[in-house]
Amino acid sequence: MSEIDYDDPELAALAERLQSPDATVRRIALLALADCDGSEQVPLLIAALQDADAGVRAEAARTLEAFETPASVAGLARLLTDPDEDVRAAAAQSLSQLKQAASAAVLLSYIGATSSFARAAALRAVRELRAPEALAPALAALEDDDPLVRREAVAVLGYLKLADALPALTRLARADKAADVRRAALGALGGASDASAHAVLPALLDGLADAAWQVREEAAATLGKLRLPAAGAALIAALEDPYWQVRLRAARSLGRLRSHAAVPALVAALAHTISNLRKEAALALGEIASPLALPALQEAAHDPDPEVRKSARLALQQVEQAA
């Protein structure tokens, strides 16, 4: 590194400091490089990814988050199998911030890495790039033994929103052994197009009966996103779920469905002891805008909780405007 001539004297001095036998000096030099303008320092940062000291490698990985180039992405990807846990974590974090679709090509091969950490991190990095070429590797990763890898693969498919992934996602939503994976799969089904929404409805309804309340909560939320009237009865039943988080999501989704059949159950929810649920019930009744809810909303406008009062008054305005 020191043999390269740099026009910037400060950069040249930092390059020399990166040759110091003292790892602390090298780490401080990396911190200074992060503040330099331009991109001339990128080769120095990439070279530091191979430093003998794990702390230096981790610092270089963190700093490269701000410099996305093919070489930096390749260097960071190699660190996903670094022997040091902190280095691997720093590389994974920087890769998760990638923005350029072209970077996906470097990462796809790591989806098949021996290390489950590398596989999961590569999928996480590819996710927001929405690269169509990630479809096949992500589908294959749904069969991975590690639930974290499967969950990250589901996230990639959710971002892609491709109909080809729906059969696999519905299968995982119903049958994966890990609740986190089932939950993620149900959330990913929320990206189904209007034409495909009815095909995923049975899996979402099954999700409302899942043993894990977090999965039921996700199913209720996703049904609201898809706005399928056929889900109304199941969501009304979910207002009686043992967990208030599920009831809250069901109330919110019933509002999105404009489900008039849900008005009596939502009115009853206005008397619940949990204020967040009372608030969501009021908001849902406002979206439905049924005059049958007026007396209960007028009473809720004097609720002890200010957020409930605010929501009830907003709902009253919506009902009055719809009349």
36, two tokens? 């330099």
Paired tokens of 29: 């030099």
Distance CA 104, CA 122 (A): 9
- Is position 317 within any domain? yes
Cα–Cα distances in Å, from 277 out to 114, 272, 284? 46, 7, 10
With respect to residue 50, please indicate whether it lies within any of the assigned structural domains.
no
Rounded Cα distance, 48 and 75, in Å: 10
- Asked, for residue 82, whether it belongs to a domain, the answer is no
Tally of domains within the chain: 1
- In this prediction the pTM is 0.89
Is the CB of residue 160 less than 8 Å from the CB of residue 134? yes
Cα distance between residue 223 and residue 256, in whole Å:
9
In a domain, 293, yes or no: yes
Say what the pLDDT of residue 6 is: 63
Domain CATH number, residue 296? 1.25.10.10
Asked whether residue 192 is domain-assigned, the answer is no
Q: Sign of dihedral through CA atoms 63, 65, 69, 72?
A: positive
pLDDT along the chain (323 residues), means of 10: 61 91 95 82 94 97 94 97 98 97 94 97 96 96 98 97 95 98 98 93 98 99 96 98 97 97 98 97 98 97 98 97 87
| Structural domain includes residue 244 | yes
> Hey, how many other C-beta atoms are within 10 angstroms of the C-beta on 99?
8
Rg (CA), the chain: 26
Determine, yes or no, domain membership for 275.
yes
Q: Which residues contact 306 (CB under 8 A, 6 or more apart)?
A: none
- How is 20-58 classified by DSSP, letter by letter? -S-HHHHHHHHHHHHTSSSSTTHHHHHHHTT-SSHHHHH
How confident is the model over 144-171, as pLDDT tens digits? 999 999 999 999 999 999 999 999 999 9
Q: List, in sequence order, the alpha helices (H) in 64-134.
A: 70-78, 85-95, 104-107, 116-127
Residue pair 283/314 in contact by the 8 Å Cβ criterion: yes
- Rounded Cα distance between 225 and 231, Å, is 11
pLDDT digits (tens, 9 = 90+) for 102-142: 999 999 999 999 999 999 999 999 999 999 999 999 999 99
Q: Does some domain include residue 292?
A: yes
Please give the residue range of the domain that contains residue 274: 227-323
| Residues 6+ away with beta carbon under 8 Å from 106 | 70, 73, 74, 77
